[in-house]
A and B are shown apart, each in its own frame.
Chain A
Amino acid sequence: MNIQLEKLTSIYHENTPFEHLALNNITTEFKEGTYYGIIGHTGSGKSTMIQNLNGLLLPSYGEVHIGDITLRRKTKQRIIHLVKKRVGMVFQFPEHQLFEESVIKDVMFGPKNIGMDEETAREKAEYYLKLLNVDRALFDIPPFDLSGGQMRKVAIAGILAMEPEVLILDEPTAGLDPLSHIETMQLFQKIQKEMGITVILVTHDMNDVYEYTDEVKLLNQGNLIRSGRTEEILTDAGLLQKYDLEVPDIVRLTSDLGKKGIEFPKIPKNREEFINLYMKWRDGYAE
């Protein structure tokens, strides 16, 4: 399922003194099975954009096509509800949305809301909790008795169990320690590859965007500046600096080595690839 934005304009508090243009006439596409990163400085419109992708916000002008569903300014709640089945959203600090008396019930909440019966919902919940390494012994205890990291896993399982075709991640690693950060990002990568779903990642962390995404959309003050392959946009140091974004560590190091005359055939995607390329270069240099 693809998502198309057609001349999407989003205005907050329209016709009041607080009027604010959050997105300005954006036309772009999110293709099925691709891992996207949305980047931009605070206030660039990232969060408005993703809320338009699952009906939390409706366009002020223009249209959002989610598969065969079209969202417009006055789309009915009944239609919007259909979108929730297809597009899942993991908010920043998702553990704040837990409320049920047991872990398993909380994970079943979303699936049941979109019409799964009790049994299917339980099956899905158990499957995704296991996928996220949540121990079966914890299924029946209140989610509030868990540690912060486990609570976040339960909250994420609650979205995955709805089996969305598109998964939106809003700063999914905020507040996590570095190891959990890596584990969480690798998990999303695995899910994206195995289930072939579209993932849309919003984050400040350019290293993650560079390492995990296929395509990038760069926003600034409500305008779509660039949209294209991650390797093109995140290796363009001039572009990133212009919009106050950081250059990924690997890209920076590769380019600094390039200045020293150490040239790689391509810019490595992660640390392992860097090490391999460097070893090869060193072997070649030694000969």
Chain B
Amino acid sequence: MLSKMLLGRYIPGNSMVHRFDPRAKIIAVFLFMIIVFFANHWTGYLLLVLFVLSLTKLAGLSLVFLFNGLKLILLLIVFTFMMHLFFTKGGTVLIDAGWFTIESEGVIRGIYITIRLAMLILITTLLTLTTSPLSLTDAIERICRPLKAIKVPVHEIAMMMSISLRFIPTLMDETEKIIKAQSARGSTFMTGSLKSRLNALTPVFIPLFISAFKRAEEMAMAMEVRGYQGEEGRTNYRVLDWQWKDTFAIILMILFGIVLFMIRQ
């Protein structure tokens, strides 16, 4: 179940979408979030769907794969659709069952909102699927750099994010090991009342915290002896390479927005 979940995962690849500068991708997704709201009738929505579908194709991902990975989210979308179906009134009455009515405006609004939501989810999933967490962190650091002027510690936050990302698998492993070790000592996690299940977590969390603190301490020492003193005088090994195609993609995105705005009714 969880292994099929796609939200927030990265699938390494070498497609055109993978190769765009992560900054360009983040800006484009941001623009898309605005553009989505320009569409207000079916041609607009059709264009949005076509746009996202062709991007998926370009990223070398199959729709079936995406659909399977986003099943859980689908529930949310269906729920939103239902809400509109039953509660948005207007237009002609399609079904009148006495205690509830479905009216044409509800159907249309429901479909539109569903498309909007689905496209937003798809495009952000495409972003994380085609961009490694590390590049995302880098890109966010660069994009947010102007915030330093108002004393936001952008570099430190980015460094924290990248170290956290690096430690996630280590801590997951460790959690599993500790759960197994305590379970071998007769601790039960699966049975008993909610209270006893929560109690059973203490022997897992305490060792986990202790080891995390120890790791943090050793890591801090290792960073210090390797000369880490914050951002000052620091160079970067990873460089982001903004190319013409990235500028082009952003321009295209803006043009797309203008077109959608023009065909509004």
Do chains A and B directly touch (beta carbons under 8 Å) in the complex?
A: yes
Assess the A96–B177 pair: CB atoms within 8 A.
Answer: yes
B61 to chain A, nearest CB (A): 15
Candidate in B3, B181, B185, B203 with the most chain A CB atoms within 10 angstroms: B185
**Chain B interface, DSSP helix/strand/loop, else mixed:** helix
- Chain B contacts for A56, CB-based, 8 A: 180, 183-184
A81-B200 Cα distance, complex, nearest whole Å: 14
A16-B69 Cα distance, complex, nearest whole Å: 13
Among the listed B178, B191, B207, which residue makes an inter-chain contact with A77, where contact means beta carbons less than 8 Å apart?
B191
- Chain B contacts for A18, CB-based, 8 A: 3
- Chain B contacts for A84, CB-based, 8 A: 183-186
- Chain B contacts for A98, CB-based, 8 A: 207
Q: Does A180 contact B (CB under 8 A)?
A: no
**Chain A interface, DSSP helix/strand/loop, else mixed:** helix
Of the candidate stretches A109-117, A222-230, A253-261, the one touching chain B is: A109-117
State how many residues of chain A have any CB contact under 8 Å with chain B.
Answer: 27
Assess the A113–B187 pair: CB atoms within 8 A.
Answer: yes
Q: Does B190 contact A (CB under 8 A)?
A: yes
**9 A-B pairs closest in CB distance:** A113-B186, A99-B206, A110-B185, A97-B181, A89-B184, A84-B186, A114-B186, A99-B203, A91-B181
- Chain B contacts for A16, CB-based, 8 A: 3-4
Q: Does B210 contact A (CB under 8 A)?
A: yes
B28 to chain A, nearest CB (A): 30
A96-B175 Cα distance, complex, nearest whole Å: 11
A94-B178 Cα distance, complex, nearest whole Å: 9
Task: Indicate with 1 or 0, residue by residue over B153-195, a CB within 8 angstroms of chain A CB atoms.
Answer: 0000000000000000000001001101111111110110000
Among the listed A77, A91, A99, which residue makes an inter-chain contact with B184, where contact means beta carbons less than 8 Å apart?
A91
State how many residues of chain B have any CB contact under 8 Å with chain A.
Answer: 22
- Chain A contacts for B43, CB-based, 8 A: none
Assess the B184–A81 pair: CB atoms within 8 A.
Answer: no
Q: Does A37 contact B (CB under 8 A)?
A: no
Assess the A96–B185 pair: CB atoms within 8 A.
Answer: no
Q: Does A120 contact B (CB under 8 A)?
A: no
Q: Does A78 contact B (CB under 8 A)?
A: yes
What are 16 contact pairs spanning A and B, CB under 8 A?
A51-B180, A78-B191, A81-B186, A81-B188, A84-B183, A84-B184, A85-B186, A91-B180, A94-B181, A96-B181, A96-B211, A99-B207, A109-B187, A113-B185, A113-B187, A162-B186
**B186, closest chain A residue (CB):** A113
Q: Does B202 contact A (CB under 8 A)?
A: yes
* A:54-102 near B, CB below 8 Å: 54, 56, 77-78, 81, 84-85, 88-89, 91, 94, 96-99
Q: Does A154 contact B (CB under 8 A)?
A: no
Assess the A158–B185 pair: CB atoms within 8 A.
Answer: yes
Assess the B190–A96 pair: CB atoms within 8 A.
Answer: no
Assess the B178–A97 pair: CB atoms within 8 A.
Answer: yes
Q: Does A159 contact B (CB under 8 A)?
A: yes
- Chain B contacts for A97, CB-based, 8 A: 178, 181-182, 185, 203, 207
Known: A96-B181, A113-B185, A114-B186. 17 other contacts (CB 8 A): A16-B3, A18-B3, A56-B184, A85-B186, A88-B184, A89-B181, A94-B181, A96-B211, A97-B181, A97-B185, A98-B207, A99-B207, A99-B210, A110-B185, A113-B187, A158-B185, A162-B185
B14 to chain A, nearest CB (A): 19
